[in-house]
Amino acid sequence: MVYWWNVAALLRANVLRSVLTARGPAAARLPHSPGESVARLRDDVADAVDFTDESVSLAGTTLFAAAALAIMATVDPAVTLALVVPMIAVGVLSTRLRRVIGRLHRRARTLGAAVTAYVGEIFGGVLAIKTAGAEAAALERLREHNRRRRAAAVKDRLATELLDAVTGATVELGIGLVLLLAAPAMRGGDFTVGDLALFTSYIGWLTALPRTIGAVLYRLPQAAVATERLTRLMAAHEDAADLSAGTGVHLRGEPPPVAGPPRHADPLRVLEARGLTVRHDGGERGVHAVDLRIERGSCTVITGAVGAGKTTLVRALLGLLPLDEGTITWNGVPIDDPGTFLVPGRVAYAGQVPRLFSETLRDNLLLGRPASDHELGRALELAAFEADLAGMPDGLGTVVGPRGVRLSGGQVQRATVARALVPAPDLLVVDDVSSALDVETERLLWDRIATGGPETLLIVSHRQAALERADQIVVLDRGRVAGRGRLAELLETCPEMRRLWSAELIAEAEERAGK
Ligand SMILES: Nc1ncnc2c1ncn2[C@@H]1O[C@H](COP(=O)(O)OP(=O)(O)OP(=O)(O)O)[C@@H](O)[C@H]1O
């Protein structure tokens, strides 16, 4: 049991290590639904470990069976040979059925993961389903997913049980054969009662062999499917050897302390991107040939209409999305893998959709890194969170609930910004926080960050407070740069900026009037 869980932990840790640290954007490797990834870490890991578990006993069983066979052959070679024949037949049948079982198993796993993914979506969207009155439709869809999964699982199970039954039947067949073949020899006195006792006790060892081989054989295609599905979550250059490599997984006792992000030798002077192009699904949507130059101490604001490509640009720059074209340099030196270079220590990122974990506020800010309460307090103050913290009886020990449900949307958003500020990055990147923050709170946030936060800022925003303080605004329109410069210049030269600005003035005036 300990072996089983240790191997499972090793496989899961290796997949997670690769997802979190391997070069290249992890988003490109993960399936669209988190439920599918979870299903792989649960079911495929179990399949792979079951196979290795069975394989361990194969060596011992083979040794005992070989010894039993040798002893039995010296007593009566003919009867012994007759016992070997059905075992070979089982071996041949197993080999034949392997491909079929592999196909059926792959289908069962895919449909099983679809059910998990859909249940995950239902839990994530309970409110949306209820407000749309779509409970019946959602449940019917779940039933349909389940029906398909059940049909595939029954076929998969039938095939494996059939093979198991056939291998099991060879034991009974073997005993019958010994009785049948040894009867004449016993009558003639050549096969003694002692020989019969020896054969019937050894037959167990002998028949354990096809049973074990059968178990290994029918688990082999399942393990192959599982290994393939797990390695597909890992970086492109990693394979089954990396999946099972002993990479120092800590299995017993207290885990060692996590080191904070390293301070890098070459602090930011200028981060430059040229010709950044991302085509979502190979089409027009995304960003096209965007240049960006971010100098130390500057505030750059990316703005544009809904769907203009702002998030895509930021994520492409940070290596979170695969680039179709473009180069990125740090102080003039090309970065060949932004995903592992533009990370805490150099850059911190607060995404548009904030993610908190079901832990305390302190753990959410630290994420395992070392930092004093004083440093946390400073980050929270920069993120305009200190008044909220003062109102929390448990302070930094407040448990925020799954995804931070016990906090307001604005608190989750600002806690995420505070988390990005804890490691005091060279460059702070914040994607549109305005959906959860009112105009005044957002203004306070930018004021605080501008006076006491990181020197260099890259902000996605359409708010006046951000646009007015920008040294450089990049206006995106349908994935392309429509204008670049300070607000005053752009209001003169860029029609898209004028349109966005007047829409923003109206929206903020309405918000202040409480509409
Ligand atoms: N993963 C994806 N797959 C396919 N299309 C995508 C994907 N992500 C974004 N898009 C599309 O690319 C375009 C740009 O999206 P993006 O999220 O970058 O815009 P945005 O300016 O950040 O929008 P918003 O203001 O709503 O945040 C949109 O048309 C969007 O539908």
Q: Is 360 left (phi over 0), alpha (psi -120 to 50) or beta?
A: beta
Least confident of 39-43, 70-74, 166-170, 466-470: 166-170
pLDDT for 261 equals: 67
Query: Is the distance from the beta carbon of residue 432 to the nearest atom of ligand 1 less than 6 Å?
Result: yes
| Domain final position from 243, 278, 299 | 243
Q: Is position 254 within any domain?
A: no
Among 326, 313, 329, 317, residue whose Cα is nearest residue 269: 329
Domain identity same for 168 and 53? yes
| Domain final position from 226, 243, 260 | 243
| Domain final position from 243, 258, 278 | 243
Which residue's CA is minimally distant from atom 30 of ligand 1?
Answer: 307
Instruction: Report the atom number in ligand 1 closest to the C-alpha of 432.
Output: 27
Instruction: Please classify residue 230 by burial: count the beta carbons closer than 10 Å to its beta carbon, then call 0-12 exposed, 13-18 middle and 19+ buried.
Output: buried
Q: Is position 414 within any domain?
A: yes
Structural tokens at position 208:
């354990």
CATH code where residue 231 lies: 1.20.1560.10
Q: Is position 102 within any domain?
A: yes
Supply the range of the domain harboring residue 180. 2-243
CATH code where residue 399 lies: 3.40.50.300
Q: Is position 502 within any domain?
A: yes
Instruction: Report the atom number in ligand 1 closest to the C-alpha of 460.
Output: 22
Domain identity same for 26 and 111? yes
Query: Is the distance from the beta carbon of residue 477 to the nearest atom of ligand 1 less than 6 Å?
Result: no
Whether residue 407 contacts residue 355, with contact meaning beta carbons closer than 8 Å, is answered with: no
| Averaged pLDDT score across all residues of the chain | 86
447-467 tens-digit pLDDT: 999 888 888 999 999 999 999
Grade residue 286 by pLDDT with cuts at 50, 70 and 90. Answer: very high
pTM (predicted TM-score): 0.72
Q: Is position 415 within any domain?
A: yes
Q: Which of 277, 279, 280 to mutate to test the pocket of ligand 1 (most atoms within 8 A of CB)?
A: 280
Query: Could you give the angle at the alpha carbon of 468 between the alpha carbons of 496 and 508, nearest 5°?
Result: 75
288-320 tens-digit pLDDT: 999 999 999 999 999 999 999 999 999 999 998
Query: Is the distance from the beta carbon of residue 351 to the nearest atom of ligand 1 less than 6 Å?
Result: no
Collapsed DSSP state (helix, strand, coil) of residue 381:
helix
Q: Where are the beta strands (DSSP E) in 157-281?
A: 270-279
Query: Is the distance from the beta carbon of residue 475 to the nearest atom of ligand 1 less than 6 Å?
Result: no
Once rounded to an integer, what is the mean pLDDT over residues 49-53?
88
Statement: residue 515 has pLDDT above 70: no
- Whole-angstrom distance, CA of residue 65 vs CA of residue 203: 9
pLDDT for 82 equals: 80
- Whole-angstrom distance, CA of residue 434 vs CA of residue 425: 22
Domain identity same for 230 and 279? no
Domain identity same for 168 and 45? yes
Domain identity same for 342 and 482? yes
- 150: CB partners within 8 A, 6+ apart: none
pLDDT for 500 equals: 95
Domain identity same for 172 and 307? no
